[in-house]
Amino acid sequence: MRNKEKDKSKSWSHIAKNNIFMLKIAFHVAPELIFVPFIVNITDAITHFLAATYILRYVINGYQQGKTINELVVPVVAIYCFMFILHTSIEVYYSFRDPINNLKLKEYVGKLIFKKNESVELACYEDKDFYDNYVKAFNDIENRISSVINSVSSIMWTFVSMSLHSILVITIDPWLIVFTAIPLITSFTLGKKRNSVQHEYDMKRQEEERQRDYTRRTFYLNDFAKEMRLTNIYRVMFARFDKSVKNIISYIRKYGFKLATIDYILSQSRNVISSMGAMLYAIYRTLVSGTMMYGDCIVIIDSISLISSEIYDTANSFVEFHRNSLYVDTIREYLEYEPKIKGGDIPAPKTGKLELKNVSFRYDGQNSDVLHNINITVNSGEKIALVGHNGAGKSTLVKLMLRLYDPTGGEIFYADRDIREYTLEGESGYRERFGSVFQDFRLFSMTVTNNVLLRKKRDGDDELVRQSLCDSGVYDKIMSFEKGVDTVLTREFDDNGEVLSGGEGQKIAISRSFVKDSGIVILDEPSSALDPIAEYKMYENMMHACKNRSVVFISHRLSSAVLADRIYLIENGKVIEEGSHHELMAAGGKYAEMFTLQAQNYVDDESEVRV
């Protein structure tokens, strides 16, 4: 299979399709991104031939034949006036219009990547190969489109120029065309080989550069600042950085010699054999046999060298198409990836019972399930607590509820339908029926309002944001800022921005669940940075604000579970106990033991114990 893929990547039809794929993207954004370079290169090739070759031959031969000054000067002036007008127009275009089109292209391809990134399932972020393709596609797509356009427009320039010079050379002496065949043969013979070596080198180097750049980030991002200063992990990162640099150097040594050898052979076949051979032949005919005019001799020496170079460039352009195609394969593999989690056709109702029936789940690449035959029911308006030790499978469970993953066994129903039947995104989508807050939430470098709404602002949102901040207990803190809810969080783009504490940031994240008109709220340990009293108060506010909505929450502090209508105790991926707080305490099982232990620690040590 791998060999078939490699053969396919080398076929000219595959190479053509990949290059056309990129041209279509550019054409969709702005057709002039393609047409203008093509027209410019064709006209530039014609004027270059006229100015640099034809006029030179015309003037020297005309002088040798005794033509008048007017006969020699007028055509020269006319051609150079035309060139001045043409080049001025081109400069005006590239100064004013081209930057706008390139900005549009950058915006379009960025959205193309972002849209694909948004549609793929969460498991893709855990797949190293997929993530590598994402990074490569994101970093390369814009430059690769420009490279394809340049390659096509360049080959047009080369073809027109080479055709005009070839016609002139054949007119003077057909035998001279023999000297142009040598670089053509070597270019096509060695060009593909060079591209394959270059691509292999680029791919390996890019992976090491990604490792190196990650190490750099750990030294300057705030996320890693405390660990870097309070532990010896920086030594490990230094070693990792050194290893990446050494690997890059080893790749340079391994592939550099191969590339240099191929380039040397290609340049010598063009510069020595072709150009010098033609020059000696033309000089012999002019100075020894006297069968060639001076102007013809001069343009022959120049034209043969130029044709030889252009044949090399033509072959190199086709080789460049092949090189582009290798990179486009990676880009297309990413853009054409079909997400495994797809929505159905039915709009999801705003409220309904959520039911998990015999649900099991196993992560890709693992040998055993992390969840085993889970049966959980969340009735409309019911408050459910999921409790258990770290690693029991609670977070995985809520990700299945949100359909960030699909179960590997069993089914999940919402409003008595398999959730796979519902549309996934959009206002009527299944995920829109959930408000969710995770422990590893993120605040964006935007205003408080934007961070709470996480969508475009609408009429009436001011009161909605105010109430949600009150319910989460952070309103007074936000209003202590000069700009209130218009305050920008973080100082990445605003020196006057505010940096919240961990607990305050969590309250902002929690407020997001209040503003969304969702039937179910899922809280995956959203209060880890709060003290026990603040957490309990937050959950009280949550239950009050969500009195008509279903709530599923994970908390390590069992004091908060008291507020739930029903509690599920998860251990080793299984539900081992189920019931209300009073029922589980009366049963005297594992939950009662854990709750009693935590309560005793709170009383004796006045500290929080997390289980």
Specify whether the CB–CB gap between 40 and 159 falls below 8 A: no
Separation of first and last alpha carbons in the chain: 49
Compute the CA torsion angle 367, 369, 370, 375 (nearest 10 deg).
180
Q: Which of 307, 326, 330, 313 is nearest to 193 (CA)?
A: 326
Rg for the chain, CA atoms, rounded: 35
* Domain boundaries along the sequence of the chain: 2-335, 354-438+521-528+550-605
CATH topology of domain 2-335: ABC transporter transmembrane region fold (1.20.1560)
Q: What predicted TM-score, i.e. pTM, was given to this entire model? A: 0.65
Please give the pLDDT value at position 183: 65
SS3 355: strand
Please give the pLDDT value at position 410: 93
Q: Which CATH number fits domain 354-438+521-528+550-605: 3.20.20.140, 3.40.50.300, 3.40.605.10, 3.30.2230.10?
A: 3.40.50.300
Q: Which residues of the chain have pLDDT under 50?
A: 1-6, 604-611
Q: Which residue has the tokens 């299984």?
A: 574
Which DSSP string corresponds to 401-453? HTTSS--SEEEEEETTEEGGGB--SSTTSSGGGEEEEETT----SSBHHHHHH
**Cα angle at 211 between 209 and 212, to 5 degrees?**
60
Q: Are strands 409-414 and 354-361 parallel, antiparallel or unpaired?
A: antiparallel
Cα gap 160→40, rounded to integer Å: 12
